[in-house]
Structure 1
Amino acid sequence: MDAPLKRVAAKRRPSKLQNNLIYGAVWLACFAPLVWLTWRGLTGDLGANPIEALIRQIGVWGLRLLLVGLAVTPAARILNKPRLVRFRRTIGLFAFCYVGLHLLTYIGVDLFFDWGQLWKDILKRPFITLGMGAFVLLIPLAVTSTNGMIRRLGRATWERIHWLVYLIVPLGVAHYYLLVKADHRPPLVYAAILTVLLGWRLWDVWGRRAAR
């Protein structure tokens, strides 16, 4: 590369300060819903059944972040902004934290750590079975999210593990749909978004194989 082109590339590359600010903004955006829900809980703004509302909303935000994580790669390709992909890890880890907190709140606040009742719910209530399955599958993704784990596993193995997300998110959508008793429009909207994202992924894989 010629010296002038190198200078242009260097100018286009964000500085360390800009990177830190962007990461900080992403982190705050992911953390903000929890702050908002906490504030609503403290001010009595979660309705007649605040515990149920809190558990559900934490889980919904976990699902939303999972969908955002799936949308990062298509957005990076469509917008020609490959550096957007670096935010998938942060978003994914926040999604895992929200889903884990959703489960912990259900077990601790709703069931008072009654493990026997939890086991009965898993066996008898399909939406809990699906939700628990999604959480269990999320664990290896969170554990292998570090650069060190990528090096230990190898890129190919790591990618195969992280393809689990294409099973996890449908399980999460199905969990939400079965949980809702009346208005099914929100989970159906998430199902539509998921369908579009999965369709894009299939089209992208097919296009790449056809180009070989």
Structure 2
Amino acid sequence: MAKLYWRVSVFVLALVPLLHLFWGAINEQLGADPGKALVDSLGSWALLYLLACLSMTPLRKITGWAGWQLMRRQLGLWSFTAGCLHVLAYLFFLLGWQWGALSAELAQRPYIAVGALAWMLLLLLALTSTRASQRCLGKNWRRLHRTIYLILPLVLLHMLWVVRADWGEWLAYALVGGLLLILRIPAVAMSLRLMRDVWR
């Protein structure tokens, strides 16, 4: 019952921002260029869900509560969902479904290629996120899903290229992302466990 409660809670909390965003788009509340605003906002939410996903393991190590792990896979899938919506919004609003223009964009704009690579890696992780995939891949499953630590820098680089001048929001994401990656270093992770034992 507790697992269901947390899964439903994460689902609702993750869905609300996207619904609010699309409501704003429908009601013309996204400014002078709603298409670009939607693309940018969906990209930001994909990154936020990714950061939330990566924070679950450190929170488990700090608090000792295993429930954080229940939410990790869900948040990863929400990051992928927002990423897919980001890509679709880009193709529709900014490219007008002109597939010929996409190849030119990939060749001429490095940040598009970096974003595409990050999305393809997220797609791979989403497709192999099932228990059946875990059983099939065995130990290689864990190695494959460590790719998430490559996806985060790629997404941050993609966003840095996009914002160009207004770096405040990006810097906040980068600091949080950098901290989460540092917390994955074995010596740091061990320190977290020792601190948790002392607090107890």
Match of residue 184 from structure 1: 167
1:45-84 alignment to 2 at 5 Å?
45-84=29-68
> Of the candidates 155, 168, 171, which is equivalent to residue 172 of structure 1?
155
Poorly superposed stretches of 4+, deviation over 6 Å:
none
For normalisation by structure 2, the TM-score amounts to: 0.91
Letter in 2 for 1:64: L
Question: How far apart are residue 94 of structure 1 and its match?
Answer: 0.9
Return the alpha-carbon distance in structure 1 between the equivalents of residues 179 and 72 of structure 2: 18
Letter in 1 for 2:151: I
Give the secondary-structure state (helix, strand or coil) at the position aligned to 1:183. coil
Return the alpha-carbon distance in structure 1 between the equivalents of residues 187 and 102 of structure 2: 40
Question: How far apart are residue 181 of structure 1 and its match?
Answer: 3.4
Question: How far apart are residue 182 of structure 1 and its match?
Answer: 2.7
1:74-113 alignment to 2 at 5 Å?
74-113=58-97
Q: What is the number of residues matched between the two proteins?
A: 191
- Larger-Rg structure: 1
Does residue 1:202 correspond to 2:185, yes or no? yes
C-alpha root-mean-square deviation of aligned residues, in Å? 1.5
Does residue 1:193 correspond to 2:160, yes or no? no
Return the alpha-carbon distance in structure 2 between the equivalents of residues 93 and 178 of structure 1: 25
Unaligned runs of 5+ in 1: 1-15
Match of residue 24 from structure 2: 40
Return the alpha-carbon distance in structure 2 between the equivalents of residues 181 and 137 of structure 1: 24
Letter in 1 for 2:145: H
Give the secondary-structure state (helix, strand or coil) at the position aligned to 1:196. helix
Does residue 1:159 correspond to 2:139, yes or no? no
Deviations 1:102-155 (A, max 9, x none): 00111122212111111111111121111011011111100100011111111x
Return the alpha-carbon distance in structure 2 between the equivalents of residues 205 and 42 of structure 1: 46
Question: How far apart are residue 203 of structure 1 and its match?
Answer: 3.9
Unaligned runs of 5+ in 2: 192-200
**1:58–1:83 distance in 2 versus 1, CA, 3 Å:** same
Question: How far apart are residue 39 of structure 1 and its match?
Answer: 1.3
Letter in 1 for 2:157: A
% identical equivalent positions:
35
